Amino acid sequence: MGPQEHRVERRLAAIFAADVAGYSRLMEQNEVGTLQTLAVHREIMDGLIAEHRGRIANTAGDSVLAEFPSAVDAVKCAVEVQKALASIDQDRPEEARVRFRIGVHVGDVMVQRGDLLGDGVNIAARLESIAAPGGVCISATTHEYVRKALPLAYTDLGPQQVKNLEDPIQSYAVSRLPSAPTSLEEAAD
Amino acid sequence: MGPQEHRVERRLAAIFAADVAGYSRLMEQNEVGTLQTLAVHREIMDGLIAEHRGRIANTAGDSVLAEFPSAVDAVKCAVEVQKALASIDQDRPEEARVRFRIGVHVGDVMVQRGDLLGDGVNIAARLESIAAPGGVCISATTHEYVRKALPLAYTDLGPQQVKNLEDPIQSYAVSRLPSAPTSLEEAAD
């Protein structure tokens, strides 16, 4: 095999996949309002991703795919995003809330022209589909990396069968502890 | 907690730990000869580490600790190192061979002033102690990342109890397939 035209680089990364629960329904009910809320939420999310050293690799409609150099940073970011969005959404009627599901997985991904490719990306997207609206779902591998570093509530969801993957995924729902500090920064540094 | 004086950065990395099997015995038998051979071996190892995008974080006597951005690169490098060293060692009498054990693990490690810290580093060192002289031993996590990308022979060693770690480590011995191509490059790209 000769030198490759499109060099693919491999790297370990924590993959963060987010999209809006019930996006089609929200758009059908109130297109302008939903897009406005989404823009506000995305600004908050994008800011927190950058703050946690993440890089947005892809966005499409209501979905965001980002990578982080550390699993701890990615999970901290996901939990902070959900906290921030819940706080600005609390005065909105239930049916108008724009709530993201977020999935986090650690993969040895391939990166080509900034795009993330490979199994790890698919798994992050599947974890996201398992997450509750406003929630965070992480793989067992991710859990292994963060459980000692981040004092959060981890709920074992058991093996989950997801589409397009042969083996079930072991996953955990993550949320703040009832007595959590205002910011995870204090506890995790 | 105020701003920290020594900022610790976290990152996902494949940790590569190597040291010489029976180093004390070799030094006792032939100090000058062993150090000469070690220098030659280290030059080869260091070159292959750099070629696979690794960074040497620490060396002490006969031991080398390096980090790689990708698990695939780290395992490829470990196998290539053992192949290269075996080939230059083959004319040496058995008792004069300087053979490294190599362990590879993927961790969300802490990096402070270039030093690697954390659980992940200890686990890589324990895996190295399980490896046969001239061999490579990887964690089950690492195996999960490389098994589809690298056509190598993986032997499940089962749970291994190692010192200073509560839980046994799940590990795999890795070697080239009998029919392996000259270089892994071809198969893995």
Q: Which residue in the set A8, A72, A107 is minimally distant from B10, CB to CB?
A: A72
Ramachandran angles phi, psi of A140, nearest 5°: -60, -35
Measured CA to CA, the distance from residue A48 to residue A157 in angstroms comes to 26
What is the band of B166 on the pLDDT scale with cuts at 50, 70, 90? confident
Q: A-side interface with B, Cβ within 8 Å? A: 1, 4, 8-14, 69-73, 106-108, 119, 141, 144-146, 148-149, 186, 189
Q: Residue B169's pLDDT is what? A: 87
Whether residue B163 is predicted with pLDDT greater than 80 in this model: the reply is no
Tell me the C-alpha to C-alpha distance, in Å, between residue A72 and each of A6, A146, B37, B171: 31, 5, 41, 24
Between chains, do B4 and A186 touch, taking CB under 8 Å as contact? no
Dump the DSSP string for A68-84.
ES-HHHHHHHHHHHHHH
Between chains, do B10 and A146 touch, taking CB under 8 Å as contact? no
Between chains, do B12 and A149 touch, taking CB under 8 Å as contact? no
Q: Residue A181's pLDDT is what? A: 55
Single-letter amino acid, residue B113:
R
Comparing A72 with B95, the larger pLDDT belongs to: A72
Topology (CATH) of B9-178: Alpha-Beta Plaits (3.30.70)
CATH number of A9-188: 3.30.70.1230
- Closest-CA residue of B relative to A10 is B70
The pair of three-digit structure tokens given for residue A125, joined into one six-digit string = 């997207």
| pLDDT (average), residues A22-43 | 94
The mean pLDDT value of chain B amounts to 90
Pairing of strands A9-20, A63-68: antiparallel
Q: Residue B182's pLDDT is what? A: 54
| pLDDT (average), residues B67-80 | 98
Comparing A38 with A89, the larger pLDDT belongs to: A38
Q: Which residue in the set A12, A144, A148 is minimally distant from B13, CB to CB?
A: A12
Q: What is the pTM of this model?
A: 0.87
Q: B-side interface with A, Cβ within 8 Å? A: 1, 4, 8-14, 69-73, 106-108, 119, 141, 144-146, 148-149, 186, 189
ipTM of the complex: 0.85
Measured CA to CA, the distance from residue A19 to residue A106 in angstroms comes to 18
Beta strand ranges found along chain A (DSSP E): 9-20, 55-60, 63-68, 100-112, 115-117, 136-139, 153-160, 169-175
What residue segments make up the domains of chain A, in order of their start? 9-188
Q: Residue B188's pLDDT is what? A: 45
